[in-house]
Amino acid sequence: MNTNTSTPPVNRKGSDEKSLKKFLQKDLTPYLVFAIPLAFMAIFLVYPMVVTMLRAFMPSGNKLLLGSFSLQGFTKFFESAMYQKALLNSFIVSLAVTFFCVLIGVPMGYFVARVKMPCKNLMLSLGILPIIMPSFVGAFTWVILLGRQGVVRHFLNFVLSPLGIEVPTIYGMFGMILCMTLTYYPFVFQLSYGAFASANSLLEEAGMLMGAGRWHIFRTITFPLILPSLGAGALLVFVRAIGNFGIPAIIGGDKYVLPTLIYFRVNGFWDLNGAASIAVVNVLITAFVLYLQKRVINRHEYETISATHSEIKLHEGKPIRIIAAVYCIIILVVSLLPQITIIVMSFFEKWVGLFPEGFTFRNYLRIPNYSSKELFNTFYLSVLATALAAVLGSLIAYITERKKPKGAALLDLSIMAPFILPGTVVSVALLSAFSGNSLIKLTGTYTIIVISYMVRRTPYVYRSVAASLSQLNPSLEEASTIAGANWFYTFRRVSVPLIMPAIISGSILTLTTLLQELSTTILLYSSRTRTVPIQIYGAVADGKLGEASALSVILLVVVFGIVYLMNRKQGKSIASSFKMG
C-alpha cells in the first residue's frame, strides 16, 4: 500500500502578506521613540569616544589621518618632564585628597550618627554646602585667604613670625590638596553618616556582651559593614579630584595635572591628537581605580541577615560629646570660610592684608551691563540641556528597566560612563569628532555645549528614574495595555506620572551642576557662548576678585535656592539630593 507523504505546497506569497499585515498593525511607536535616545548615544557618545581613541594613536596635530599610526602621544609620558610631572601630580593630588577626605569625613559621619549632640540636621545641611558651590569659586576665595596677601596668611605670619615660621601660600600642591579636600569631604561624610546611622546595632551589642572593647568592635564589625559606602564615597572623591580643572587652573601655579595639560594642548596648540592621548591615560587611570574599588568591596562585603533592627544607642558621655561637637564645628567653619569670604568680598574692591578695602555696590550694579549675555547663556544652555537630559534619561531608563532588551547592561554602562569621565575628556571627544573637516562641524556653537552637558549629566536623571522604576510594579501599565491603550498613551498617562518625582529630582540635580559647569565648557565655548563660570574664571585670572565674587554669589544663591525649594516641595534633605554625586 502506497502512502503519499509529500508536503502540500506552501503559499509563501500569502504568508509574506500576512506577516507584513501583522507587522503594520503592530504599534511601532515605542520602537520609533526608543530609536531617538539610542541614536543620540551612538552619535554623540560612542562615536566621539571611538574617534578619540583613534586620534590618541596618531601623530601630534589636529588632523584625523586613519592611515598613520603613532605612539607619540603616549611616549611623551616617558620622554617629556612636563608630562611625567603632570601624571605624578595627578596621582599625588587625587590620592592625597581621597585619603584626607576619608580621614575627615568618616569621624565626622560617626560623630553625627552615633554621638548625642544638638543641631544634627543643621550640620548635615551645612556639610553639603561645599559641594553646592563651584569648586573653582572656592579656589579663588582661598587665594583671598591664603594667597600672597591673604588675610589668614597675613594673620598667621604675624603670630608665627617671632618663631621664625612662615606659612606657605595657597599656590601649588598644598593648595590644590587643601582646596579639593575641603570641597569633596562631604561625599565621604554624607555616605558614611548614612551607613553608620542605618547599620544594625545587634552585632555590636553582641560583641559588647562577649567582652570585646569598642575599638575591636569598630574594627571587626562596624567598619566592614560601612566599607561599601566608604568605598563609594572614596571613589566619588578620586574621580572628581583627578578630573578637576578649575582648582588646579587657579591655584596650581606651575604644577600641571592631566586636565590642565589637556587644556594646554588644546588651547595652546590645537593639538587634538595629543590631548586625546592624555584623555585616554586619564580614563584608564579612572577605570583601573573603579575596578580596584569594586574588587576590594566585593572581597569585604558583608550582610546582616536579621528580621529585627535594634535602635542604635548613642554615646552620651560628656567627653565624647565635647570632642564630637568641637571636631564637627571646626571642620564646618574651615570648609565654609570660602562662602563667608566670597559674600564679604563681593561688597569690596580689593582685599589686602587683614581687612577688605573700598566698600562698594558697583560689583553688583555692573552685572546687568557686563554680564547679561553670560547670564542668559548660562541659564539658556543649562535649562535646555536639563530638559533634553530629562527626556533622554527617562526613555533609556524605561528601556533598560521595562523592556530589558539584550544588551541592556551594555546600554547601562554606556550612559553611566560619562559619570566617571572628567569634563575635559568629554570636551576633547566632542572636539575630536565634530571639528575640522568632519561631516558635522559644531565647534563654537551652542549645540556642542548642550550636547556635552547632556552627555555628562544624563546619568543623574537616568539613575534616578531607573531606581524609581525598579520599585514600581508594572501592573498598572499592563492594565492600561490590556484595556486597549497604545504604548504612547500608557507611557504618557500612567508611567510618567508615577516616575515624575524621580524625573524632577534628577533634573534639579542636573540643573544645579550645569549652572556651575566649567571643566566641560572651558574647551568648547566661543565669544558668543561664554557662560558665567567662564567669566568668573577670566575675572580671577585678571585679578578682578570683587567682580568675580559678586558673580559667584549670584550663582551660589541661585543654586542653593533651587535645591532648597525642591527639598521643601519634595520633603527631602539637601544632602539626599547630592548622594549621586
pTM of the model: 0.80
Instruction: For residue 115, count other CB atoms closer than 10 A to its CB.
Output: 20
Cα-Cα-Cα-Cα torsion 64, 65, 68, 71, nearest 10 degrees, comes to -10
Q: How far apart are CA 382 and CA 445, in angstroms?
A: 14
Would you state the pLDDT for residue 14? Answer: 58
* DSSP states along 513-536: HHTT--TTGGGT--TTS--HHHHH
User: Which of 526, 294, 295 is closest to 420 using CA atoms?
Assistant: 294
Q: How far apart are CA 48 and CA 448, in angstroms?
A: 12
The cell numbers describing 264, all together, are 594646554
User: Which of 492, 483, 51, 545 is closest to 250 using CA atoms?
Assistant: 545
Ranges of H-type helices in 244-371: 246-251, 258-263, 269, 272-299, 318-345, 362-365, 367-370
Region of 418 on the Ramachandran plot (φ > 0 left; ψ -120 to 50 alpha; else beta): alpha
H or E, element range at 218: none
Q: How far apart are CA 523 and CA 284, in angstroms?
A: 21
Mind listing the pLDDT tens digit of every residue in the chain (581 residues)? Answer: 455 555 555 555 555 565 655 555 555 666 676 778 888 888 998 899 899 999 999 988 888 777 788 888 899 999 999 999 999 999 999 999 999 999 999 999 888 888 888 888 788 878 877 877 778 888 888 888 888 777 888 888 888 888 888 888 889 999 999 999 999 998 888 888 887 877 666 666 676 667 666 677 777 767 777 777 788 788 889 988 998 998 999 898 889 999 999 999 988 888 889 999 999 998 889 888 888 877 776 665 555 544 445 566 777 788 888 999 999 999 999 998 888 888 998 998 877 767 788 889 999 999 999 899 999 999 999 999 999 999 998 888 888 887 777 767 777 777 877 877 888 889 999 998 998 777 888 988 999 999 999 999 898 888 888 878 877 777 777 787 787 777 777 777 888 888 888 888 888 888 988 998 888 999 999 999 999 999 998 888 888 888 989 999 998 888 878 877 776 665 554 444 444 43
Q: Are residues 522 and 426 in contact, defined by beta-carbon separation less than 8 angstroms? A: no
The cell numbers describing 424, all together, are 575635559
Which option is the CATH number for 87-263+288-345: 3.90.1150.10, 1.10.510.10, 1.20.120.1200, 1.10.3720.10?
A: 1.10.3720.10
Q: Are residues 216 and 207 in contact, defined by beta-carbon separation less than 8 angstroms? A: yes
Instruction: For residue 315, count other CB atoms closer than 10 A to its CB.
Output: 17
Q: How far apart are CA 428 and CA 437, in angstroms?
A: 16
- Cell numbers 559621619 correspond to what residue? 109
* DSSP states along 55-70: HHTS-SSS---TT---
Residue 152 identity: V
Q: Are residues 449 and 521 in contact, defined by beta-carbon separation less than 8 angstroms? A: yes
> b or e along 190-218 (b: 16 or more beta carbons within 10 Å of the residue's beta carbon)?
bbbbbbbeebbbebbeebeeeebeeeebb
Q: Are residues 562 and 512 in contact, defined by beta-carbon separation less than 8 angstroms? A: yes
Give the CA diameter of the chain. 123
Domains of the chain, by residue range, sit at 87-263+288-345, 361-581
* DSSP states along 528-581: TS--HHHHHHHHHHTT-HHHHHHHHHHHHHHHHHHHHHHHHHHT--TGGGGTT-
- Cell numbers 531617538 correspond to what residue? 36
Instruction: For residue 30, count other CB atoms closer than 10 A to its CB.
Output: 19
Q: How far apart are CA 148 and CA 251, in angstroms?
A: 12
- Cell numbers 523592556 correspond to what residue? 403
Backbone angles phi, psi at 405, to 5 degrees: -75, 170
Give the list of residues 6+ apart from residue 186 with CB closer than 8 angstroms, or none.
105, 127, 128, 130, 131, 575, 578
CA distances from 345 to 148, 398, 506 (A): 17, 47, 33
Q: Determine whether 189 is exposed, middle or buried from the number of CB atoms within 10 Å of its CB (0-12, 13-18, 19+).
A: buried
End-to-end CA distance of the chain: 81
* DSSP states along 1-54: -----PPPPP-HHHHHHHHHHHHHHS--HHHHHHHHHHHHHIIIIIHHHHHHHH
Same fold, 87-263+288-345 and 361-581: yes
Ranges of H-type helices in 134-172: 135-146, 151-160
Answer whether CATH 3.30.1650.10 is correct for domain 361-581: no
Q: How far apart are CA 90 and CA 81, in angstroms?
A: 14
